[in-house]
């Protein structure tokens, strides 16, 4: 990258900066005339004689002449304003474009950092550099050339104007500039140094925050919050001290500037006044000079501010750039180039004299030599720290060896672009990362290598105007809306992709889990209509199957005409699934529409009374329990915190009666009945009469629901798919009955049978693939994340598969079978397994044992598994 900010500006925005300069130059004559005109107006039009005058061949009397000049003045004001507007917008756009380029370059560099660099630089430092720290640079870059030119030019124009009016006054106006020009930079230098320190201190602070978030478990588990807070206070104190010092110095500079600026009018009033009295200067000229001087202070101030910003920006740029110039980074070509012809690495792997040292010169790998035949299955075992995992990373070209080479199919992998290594070599490490997308997206990520097909011009970043802007900023021109899945690498066309994904789920043993996600998931995939239709089929099938088995009493189906005793009162009233906040259970009592319905069917008073009764029962049952008792969480309608409130409410209700209570208090009671599930709670409080009226309310609710609130609820309907509910709930279309022994499991078994017989399993899996993996895959368990990563790698069918302890987090019982399925899937390809347990090496053609960074044993499992070998020692340890 360019070593200084001005080189960066020059290299990437030369033309634009020149254009701005020319534009600025063009604006000056207008500025000059707008300054000169007031003098003419005052001296000639208002104070002049000899009218009518000749102007452009026309005769003008005094008043028309004055008006004409005023109109010209107004026009000049408009022209000046237009110039300023255009220049400002252009400048802002230029700045943003350059900022965009800078951020892009920095991010691209992060993606090229050698992996060991991430041991030295933390997320917490890198993120603010690319986001916040460079932000002010954009503004500065836009202003860098044209602002000093414009403000300097303005200053000069005004000065020339003043000198033309009166050389003495002109001299007076600038008399103090040299002093300012000398002192200010000196003071500024110290402020700059402080600024540098501050940037570092803030980086430190964000590093600390990032670290605390990543390690928050340890902080809780070890009670180190106080230490963390004290540590944080120290960082804040550092920033505070630096900032305070900066303010003191910065505002002193400001004070000095202001003082000097105020000093100059003193000369005008005294010297100028004398000149006017003596008659050496017209009164109009003095007024014009005073007006001009007022204009003068603005550009001068701007120039001084510019100087400060320039210094700030220079420092920030230097400080950011030095963090991103990392030795050993990939070249841009290695990161982005496509090979001219497809390169295959399907061939023997030859490792020659391979050596690797870390930054401290510690030897991690030493003189490693071996060959692997095409298609051979190799397991590498050895004690921790013996170098096996390092070898795997070097073989995947994630680390560069310090000496020696690895060739695959006769090609040295050291210089290959990632377009070859990242496609032809497959690597999964022990703690694979899952991105915050759906499982499906995470799987496809393995095959998203380059765009093909046409972009969608309606997709925002791929609209023609946006693409032009991206090009001007030197950003990536790969359209995000084009197809990205490399079907050739996957070996399948688009239509069969889902089948292939389901296959891979089976290989890695994730199928049942994704199926369970699918049952809990909602229908959000392509082919909604068809899938929804088939799920409806399963709904009636389940019903008839349960009847056949005599199990239909285990589900109470939703019926528009019947009260469902196994559903909450809220569900009975809404008869649908809330979408969003409005009709959520705890918002119902406060919702105006719901209230209007309750009033209409005359349930409001009943509900308040029932709420009071529920509260009475709850207080009676729970009042003696300690607040942290688990029963509160499991059974209570009222949380332990709210229980005392309700006790007071009940006392008040006894005193003044329910009708006499405040509306807010009545609302607290009204909230409670919605949560009742009659069959479960058995409080006997929702009687037949109320059930009938809840059914009336249901009907009224549905009929009267205003159009704009329709989207807040998906109604239950026998012959329609409910998009807001899970697949499972859609098939059940009812509530599993309380009080029937083992009902959940028994219904679950019939449900699974129906899904299977209706051929819906694939659909459910497809829906499950649409489940979100959560931040850093946090919704998945560690083994699930590993499985996703392995499937992601298998999808693109690499020539060489490297599994670096990739199954170590799986349950020990499924590790062996999972590896067997992977070996079967990659039957014709080379597989290298780094075995965290030596026993896993058994099904492999050949076993290497590494210790101390060297290969110490090499042979088949059976030949090595004998008395005295290192492999036997490893096996015995297990």
Partner 1 sequence: MSLNEEVELLKNIPLFAKIEPSKLKLLAFTSERLNYADGQVLFSQGDTGDAAYIIIDGTASVLIGTGNGTVEVAQLSKGDVVGEIAILCDVPRTATVQAKESLTTLKINKEAFFRLVTDFPQIAVEIMRELAGRLEQTNIKLRAALSDNGN
Kindly list the residues in this chain that would bind partner 1 in the complex (CB under 8 A). 617, 620-622, 630-631, 634-635, 681-684, 738-742
- When the beta carbons of 248 and 553 are compared against partner 1, the nearer one is 553
Tell me the DSSP string of 652-672.
HHHHH-STTS-HHHHHHHHHT
Kindly write down the DSSP assignment for every residue of 110-163, as one continuous string. Answer: HHHS-GGGGGTS-HHHHHHIIIIITHHHHHHHHHTTHHHHHHHHHHHHHHHHHH
Complex with partner 1: residue 60 or 622, whichever CB lies closer: 622
> Residue 310 contacts by C-beta under 8 Å, 6 or more apart in sequence?
140, 144
Question: Closer CB to partner 1, residue 545 or residue 595?
Answer: 545
Q: Are 34 and 73 in contact (CB under 8 A)?
A: yes
As given in the structure block, the two tokens for residue 447 are: 């095959």
Cβ-proximal residues to 204 (8 Å cutoff; 6+ apart), any chain:
235, 238
Shortest distance (Å) from residue 737 CB to partner 1: 9
- Of the two residues 1 and 551, which places its CB atom closer to partner 1 in the complex? 551
CB of 744 to partner 1, least distance (A): 12
Nearer Cβ to partner 1 (251/631): 631
Tell which residue, 775, 860, 848, 47, has the closest CA to residue 435: 775
Instruction: Rank residues 494 and 742 by Cβ distance to partner 1 and give the closer one.
Output: 742
Query: At which residue do the structure tokens 């890695």 appear?
Result: 508
C-alpha distances in angstroms, 755 versus 518, 580, 760?
12, 29, 5
Q: Which is nearer to partner 1, 672 or 712 (CB)?
A: 672
| 3-state per-residue secondary structure call for 6-32 | HHHHHHHHHHHHHHHHHHHHHHHHHHH
- Taking each helix axis from N to C end, the angle separating 604-622 and 592-601, rounded to the nearest 10 degrees, works out to 110
Strands (E), 311-360: 349-357
Closest distance of CB 652 from partner 1, Å: 22
Name the phi and psi angles at 405, rounded to 5: -150, 160
386 in Cβ contact with 853 (< 8 Å): yes
Alpha carbon separation from 686 to 615, 698, 702, 857 (Å, rounded): 14, 15, 21, 77
Smallest distance, Å, CB 629 to partner 1? 8
The total number of residues shown for the chain amounts to: 878
- Which residues, in sequence order, are bridge partners of residue 403? 355
**What count of other Cβ atoms lies within 10 Å of the Cβ of residue 259?**
10
**Smallest gap, in angstroms, from Cβ of residue 679 to partner 1?**
9
Q: How far is the CB of 690 from partner 1 (least distance, A)?
A: 15
Nearer to partner 1, 118 or 631 (CB): 631
> 314 or 746, CB closer to partner 1?
746
Q: Which is nearer to partner 1, 629 or 761 (CB)?
A: 629
Q: Smallest gap, in angstroms, from Cβ of residue 619 to partner 1?
A: 10
Contact assessment for residue 199 and residue 319, using Cβ atoms and an 8 Å cutoff: yes
CB of 606 to partner 1, least distance (A): 18
> β-pairing, 425-428 with 800-804?
parallel
Residue with tokens 């992998």: 413
Q: Least distance to partner 1 from the beta carbon of 625, Å?
A: 8
Own/partner pairs, 558-561, CB within 8 angstroms, 24+ separation: 558/716, 558/718, 558/733, 558/734, 558/735, 560/698, 560/716, 560/718, 561/695
Q: Are 292 and 170 contacting, i.e. CB atoms less than 8 angstroms apart?
A: no
**Which uninterrupted H or E stretch holds 170?**
helix 167-174
Nearer CB in complex with partner 1: 411/650: 650
Angle, nearest 10°, between helix axes 225-267 and 283-324?
Answer: 150
Distance CA 567, CA 559 (A): 12
CA quadruple 264, 270, 276, 277: dihedral, nearest 10: 180
Tell me the closest approach of the beta carbon of residue 622 to partner 1, in angstroms.
Answer: 7
Q: How far from 266 is each of 30, 284, 290, 293, 611, CA to CA, in Å?
A: 29, 18, 11, 12, 80
Whole-number Å distance between alpha carbons of 768 and 525: 10
Q: Nearer Cβ to partner 1, position 87 or 554?
A: 554
- Two tokens at 717? 């309907």
Min dist CB 358 to partner 1, Å, is 51
Give 568 or 818: the residue with its C-beta nearer to partner 1: 568
Give the three-class secondary structure for 396.
coil
Question: 547: closest CA among 761, 747, 737, 757?
Answer: 747
Closer by beta carbon to partner 1, 604 or else 740: 740
Report how far Cα 687 is from the mean position of its chain's Cα atoms: 51
Q: How far is the CB of 571 from partner 1 (least distance, A)?
A: 20
Least distance from partner 1 to the Cβ atom of residue 734, Å: 17
Rounded least distance, CB 604 to partner 1, Å: 24
Report residue 491: phi and psi, to 5°.
80, 30
Residue 163 or 738 having the CB closest to partner 1: 738
Instruction: Report the nearest approach of partner 1 to the CB of residue 551 (Å).
Output: 9
CA–CA distance, 590 with 223 (Å, rounded to integer): 41
In whole angstroms, the minimum distance from the beta carbon of 553 to partner 1 comes to: 8
Which CB, 381 or 569, lies closer to partner 1? 569
User: Using omega within 30 degrees of 0 as the cis cutoff, is the peptide bond preceding 52 cis?
Assistant: yes
Cα 650 to Cα 116, 407, 625, 653: the distances in Å are 66, 82, 19, 5
Distances (CA, A) of 555 to 56, 676, 730, 738: 98, 18, 13, 9
Query: Are the beta carbons of 787 and 510 closer than 8 angstroms?
Result: yes
| CA 255 distance to own-chain centroid | 42
Minimum CB distance to partner 1 smaller for 22 or for 633: 633
State which residue, 111 or 621, has the beta carbon closest to partner 1: 621
């Amino acid at each position: 990258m360019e070593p200084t900010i001005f080189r960066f500006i020059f290299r990437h925005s030369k033309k634009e900066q020149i254009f701005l300069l020319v534009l600025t130059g063009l604006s000056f004559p207008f500025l000059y005339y707008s300054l000169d005109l007031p003098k003419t107006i005052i001296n000639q039009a208002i104070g002049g004689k000899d009218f009518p005058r000749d102007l452009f061949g026309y005769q003008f009397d005094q008043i028309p002449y004055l008006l004409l000049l005023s109109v010209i003045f107004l026009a000049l004001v408009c022209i000046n304003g237009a110039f300023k507007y255009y220049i400002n917008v252009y400048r802002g756009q230029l700045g943003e474009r350059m900022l965009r380029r800078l951020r892009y370059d920095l991010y691209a560099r992060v993606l090229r950092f050698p992996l060991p660099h991430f041991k030295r630089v933390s997320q917490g430092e890198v993120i603010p550099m690319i986001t916040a720290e460079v932000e002010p640079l954009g503004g500065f870059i836009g202003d860098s050339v044209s602002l000093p030119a414009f403000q300097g030019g303005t200053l000069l124009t005004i000065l020339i104007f003043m000198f033309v009016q009166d050389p003495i006054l002109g001299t007076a106006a600038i008399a103090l500039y040299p002093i300012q020009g000398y002192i200010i930079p000196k003071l500024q230098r110290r402020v700059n140094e402080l600024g540098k320190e501050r940037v570092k201190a803030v980086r430190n602070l964000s590093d600390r925050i990032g670290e605390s978030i990543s390690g928050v478990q340890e902080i809780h588990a070890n009670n180190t919050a106080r230490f963390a807070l004290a540590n944080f206070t120290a960082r804040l104190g550092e920033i505070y001290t630096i900032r305070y010092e900066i303010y003191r110095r910065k505002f002193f500079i400001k004070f000095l500037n202001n003082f000097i600026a105020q000093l100059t009018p003193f000369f005008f009033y005294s010297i100028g006044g004398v000149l006017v009295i003596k008659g050496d200067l017209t009164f109009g000229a003095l007024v014009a000079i005073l007006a001009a001087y007022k204009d003068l202070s603005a550009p001068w101030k701007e120039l001084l501010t510019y100087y400060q910003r320039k210094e700030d920006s220079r420092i920030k740029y230097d400080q950011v750039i030095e963090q991103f110039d990392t030795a050993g980074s990939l070249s841009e070509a290695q990161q982005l180039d496509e090979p001219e012809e497809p390169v295959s690495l399907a061939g023997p792997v030859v490792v020659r004299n391979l050596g690797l040292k870390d930054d401290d010169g510690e030897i991690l790998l030493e003189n490693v030599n071996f060959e692997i035949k095409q298609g051979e299955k190799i397991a590498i075992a050895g004690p921790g720290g013996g170098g096996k995992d390092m070898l795997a990373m070097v073989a995947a070209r994630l680390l560069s060896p310090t000496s020696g080479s690895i060739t695959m199919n006769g090609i040295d992998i050291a210089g290959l672009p990632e377009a070859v290594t990242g496609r032809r070599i497959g690597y999964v490490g022990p703690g694979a990362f899952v991105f915050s997308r759906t499982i499906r997206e995470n799987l496809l990520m393995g095959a998203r290598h380059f765009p093909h097909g046409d972009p969608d011009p309606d997709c925002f970043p791929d609209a023609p105007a946006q693409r032009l802007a991206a090009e001007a900023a030197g950003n990536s021109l790969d359209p995000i809306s084009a197809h990205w899945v490399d079907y050739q690498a996957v070996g399948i066309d688009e239509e069969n992709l889902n089948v292939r994904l389901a296959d891979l789920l089976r290989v890695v043993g994730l199928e049942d889990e994704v199926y369970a996600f699918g049952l809990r998931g909602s229908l959000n995939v392509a082919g909604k209509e068809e899938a929804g239709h088939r799920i409806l089929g399963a709904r009636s099938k389940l019903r008839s199957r349960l009847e056949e088995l005599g199990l239909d009493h285990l589900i109470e189906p939703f019926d528009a005409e019947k009260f469902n005793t196994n559903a909450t009162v809220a569900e009975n009233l809404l008869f649908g699934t809330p979408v969003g906040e409005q009709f959520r259970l705890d918002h119902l009592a406060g919702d105006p529409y719901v209230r209007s319905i309750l009033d209409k069917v005359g349930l409001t008073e009943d509900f308040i009374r029932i709420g009071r009764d529920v509260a009475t029962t709850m207080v009676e049952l729970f009042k003696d329990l300690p607040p942290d008792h688990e029963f509160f969480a499991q059974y209570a309608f009222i949380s332990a915190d709210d229980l005392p409130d309700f006790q007071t409410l009940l006392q008040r209700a006894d005193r003044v009666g329910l009708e006499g209570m405040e509306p807010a208090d009545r609302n607290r009671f009204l909230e409670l009945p919605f949560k009742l599930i009659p069959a479960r709670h058995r409080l006997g409080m929702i009687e037949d009469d109320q059930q009938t009226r809840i059914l009336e309310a249901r009907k009224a609710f549905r009929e009267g629901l205003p159009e704009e609130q329709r989207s807040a609820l998906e109604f239950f309907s026998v012959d329609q798919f409910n998009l807001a509910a899970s697949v499972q709930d859609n098939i059940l279309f009812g509530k599993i009955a309380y009080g029937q022994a083992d009902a959940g499991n028994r219904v679950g078994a019939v449900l699974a049978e129906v899904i299977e017989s209706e051929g819906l399993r694939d659909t459910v899996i497809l829906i499950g693939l649409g489940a979100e993996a959560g931040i850093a895959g946090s919704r998945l368990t560690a083994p699930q994340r590993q499985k996703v990563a392995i499937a992601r790698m298998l999808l693109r069918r690499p020539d060489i598969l490297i599994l670096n302890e990739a199954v170590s987090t799986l349950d020990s019982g499924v590790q062996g079978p999972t590896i067997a399925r992977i070996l079967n899937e990659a039957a014709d390809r080379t597989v290298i397994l780094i075995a965290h347990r030596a026993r896993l090496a058994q099904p492999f053609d050949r076993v290497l044992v590494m210790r101390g960074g060297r290969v110490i044993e090499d042979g088949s499992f059976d030949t090595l598994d004998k008395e005295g070998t290192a492999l036997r020692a490893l096996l015995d340890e297990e």
